Amino acid sequence: MRSLLPLVVALGLAAVPSLQVVHAATGTPRGFTAKDLVMLDRVSAPQFSPDGRHILYAVRQTDWAADRGVGSLWRTSAEGGAGERLTPEGQTALSGRWSPDGRWVYFLSPASGSMQVWRVAAMGGAPQQVTDYPLPVGSFRLAPQGEALAIAFEVFPDCATLDCTAERLRADAADKTTGVLHTRLFVRHWDQWADGRRAQVFFAALDEAGRATAEPRLLTRGIDGDVPGKPFGDDADFVFSPDGRHLVFSVRIAGTSEAWSTNFDLFEVPVDGSAPPRNLTDGNDATDTNPVFSADGRTLFWRAMKRPTFESDRFGLMAMDRATGVVREIAADWDRSFSSLVLGDDGRTMFTATLDTGTRPVFAIDLASGAVRRVISGGNISAFDIDGDRIVFARDTIAQPTDLWLGAVRGRIAERRLTEWNAERLADVRMGKFEQFSFQGWNNATVYAYVIKPWNHQPGRKAPVAFLIHGGPQSSYHNQWHYRWNAQTYAGAGFAVVMVDFHGSTGYGQAFTDSISQDWGGKPLVDLQKGWAAALERYDVLDGERACALGGSYGGYMVNWIAGVWNEPWDCLVNHAGLFDLRSMAYATEELWFTEWENGGVPWRSIETIERHNPVNHVQNWRVPMLVIHGQKDYRVPVEQGLATFTALQRQGIPSEFLYFPDENHWILRPHNSVQWHETVKRWLRTHTGTP
């Protein structure tokens, strides 16, 4: 990509760009569409400046012609008012971070042809390239005094320099042979095949001009693991101590057992290279992650699970006295799972946003007593930052995409909306109204669900129904604006929507989450059946004679399961990346800890559990038309699961279609593909519910 620096100098700080508005308001109300969804500007990652006067945040916009998203960084006043763009239009900018003195914003950009660290003056100007290494930067942390960086690269472990890895990659690309020899599992993960490289963290000093040193120092030497962890790890996996002399990072070191281990440990290493990394949490064989230091450096906080190999265990909040090594758990009796951690400026309070009964509020936890207090409620708080008594947060709901808000951690400031990024784009759109309800599910336990009405609902008129089943399965269809399974895309097409948080969902206590393991087709099915009955009884808008069930991943598994054991209510089914045969899945997926925990052991010893709720055993009962969707690069649920589902349908003469994406993984991410996905699903639902 050519340099845009001359353009940046000419433009300075641009106002909100015109591409934020796709079309002018016509005044004619309309429903929300898939094209609307992919073209929305996505706001995230708000951060107070060190002096608290400004807020940095990220915006992801869609370049429809290029079929990709483009990230940028913006600055707005904490007092409100129009925001200003910090990074030039057309230059992708990600992972923005304030410098400690507030003068600069550091970020990642591929503008030089490779992902590198850049910086731009906080008050605007031309960005400056900070690093110029032969390998792309994966993530970074700025040292507390701003004099150095911790940088993650993917390198070959036996290479002593970055150039060595770069040269080997060039040689591999030129090699006429294509065979790759693997000697242990994780031959592929999420959507990539292993090539022998590891993500490792390096230390690079910055000179007076703000440029990084030529050859950074490897800090994770001898670590046979990825820092950050793959595939979704980021800079939350490593952190500098407040004095800048040490780095603490989270990593799974498992050798040949990596594919069935969740044992992430925290390691500490001096940044001067005087000692090797030291394991701080060797006594816990489950996950330890997200390290956070107290301001004085005397205490290290982190999130930890207790049960090895269970990826959906409750995350507890841990604290270690660095002088004595004594560890204690904070708020151990709180039956919610800690998510992202933000330490309050008073040093006595930890904040976290986590799922709770179908929403994601922010909670404050007193570090001394463990007392928990709700701070911000309403919708889904996806990110937040604290400055004294103020909190800036990103909020979305089922009916509203994300914007930034300002509030107070003790309620002394009225909540105030800071941004309205998609207001003009959605001026004519009428979202479907939504409501949460509860019912008595399996074993008469209280189960929660949402109903969303069509955008143009009229009292007394019934609407066809899209019955959405979430994946995970330890997940939730909570009060959230979702960019793949978005309820408003169905409401905008004239459908009502029902979403049930069945047993196994998160945000209702750990016992509720645990209850699905080894019982995939049991308690959750009862909840879905009772939830469907309760919804039909309570909401006149639902037309139970015109209804289709849809789901992805575990939701796709459930679609296959109900196709054989509960197909009476449905006119059609949609299965995205769903499991067809639990036994073959247990041998073909990449993260073995997941299937082995959920099935109660390795597949050759957990045959009874696997076969008890295995969709393949009920194929002979299938009768409902089904749309099957799968991506070739899905290594979590391999594409053969989707092909087998389609084969079972076609060989029995059941109306069916197979939508195949050769370039997508477990999710459909490219804008054009996303619209195709939604339009195909919408056509399938309309065809089989008789909806014009």
Q: What is the span of the domain harbouring residue 449?
A: 434-689
Does some domain include residue 580? yes
Phi, psi of 89 (to 5 degrees): -60, 135
Neighbours of 350 (CB within 10 A): 22
Say whether both 457 and 367 belong to one domain.
Answer: no
Residues 6+ apart with CB under 8 A from 106: 96, 97, 98, 99, 117, 118, 119, 130, 140, 142
| Count, residues in the chain | 692
Cβ count near 325 (within 10 Å) = 8
Report the CATH number that the domain containing residue 463 is assigned in CATH.
3.40.50.1820
Are residues 480 and 374 part of one domain? Answer: no
Task: List C-alpha distances in Å: 515 to 310, 523, 686.
Answer: 13, 8, 35
Tell me the three state secondary structure of residue 132: coil
Decide: 250 and 227 in contact? Cβ < 8 Å.
Answer: yes
Q: Which residue has the tokens 């290479």?
A: 159
Q: Is there a single domain that holds both residue 545 and residue 415?
A: no
Dump the DSSP string for 430-464: -PPPEEEEEEE-GGG-EEEEEEE--TT--TT--EE
457 and 606 inside one domain:
yes
Whether 289 maps to a domain, the answer reads no
Q: How far apart are CA 164 and CA 134, in angstroms?
A: 9
Distance CA(257)–CA(278), nearest Å, equals: 21
Same-domain check for residues 396 and 473: no
168 within a domain of the structure (yes/no): no
Burial class (CB in 10 A: 0-12, 13-18, 19+), 79: exposed
- Does 506 lie in the same domain as 385? no
Consecutive 10-residue runs of the chain (692 residues): their mean pLDDT?
Answer: 30 31 63 97 96 96 96 92 86 96 97 97 94 98 97 97 97 95 95 96 95 93 96 96 98 93 98 96 98 97 98 98 97 97 96 98 98 96 96 97 95 85 95 98 98 96 98 97 97 98 98 98 98 98 98 98 98 98 98 98 97 98 98 98 98 98 98 98 98 88
* Residue 280 backbone phi and psi in degrees, to 5: -95, -20
Is 579 inside any structural domain? yes
* CATH number of 71's domain: 2.120.10.30
Whether residues 441 and 499 fall in one domain: yes
Its sign, for the CA torsion 548, 549, 552, 553, is negative
Q: In this structure, is residue 319 part of a structural domain?
A: no
- Residue showing tokens 């503008």: 111
Token pair in block for residue 24: 């002018």
The answer to whether 277 and 220 have CB atoms below 8 angstroms apart is: yes
> Is 211 a member of any domain?
no
533 found inside a domain = yes
The residues near 232 (Cβ < 8 Å, ≥ 6 apart) are none
376, 359 in Cβ contact below 8 A?
Answer: no
pTM of the predicted model, to two decimals?
Answer: 0.94
The domain boundary, picked from 420, 444, 461, lies at 420
Listed residues 130, 164, 185: the one ending a domain = 130
Instruction: Kindly state whether residues 499 and 374 are assigned to the same domain.
Output: no
CATH number at residue 371: 2.40.10
Q: Where are the alpha helices (DSSP H) in 505-619?
A: 510-514, 523-538, 554-565, 582-588, 592-599, 607-612
Do 412 and 447 belong to one domain?
Answer: no
Q: Give yes or no: residues 412 and 523 share one domain.
A: no
Same-domain check for residues 383 and 459: no
514 located within any domain: yes
> Are 192 and 632 in contact, with CB atoms under 8 Å apart?
no
**pLDDT on residue 26:** 61
Q: State how far the Cα of 543 lies from the Cα of 494, in Å rounded to an integer.
A: 12
Residues forming beta bridges with residue 618, ordered by sequence position: none
Is residue 509 located within the same domain as residue 606? yes
Give the number of domains in the chain: 3
| Domain end position, chosen among 420, 452, 481 | 420
Q: What is the pLDDT of residue 410?
A: 87
Q: CA nearest 473: which of 551, 554, 585?
A: 554
At 22, which amino acid appears?
V
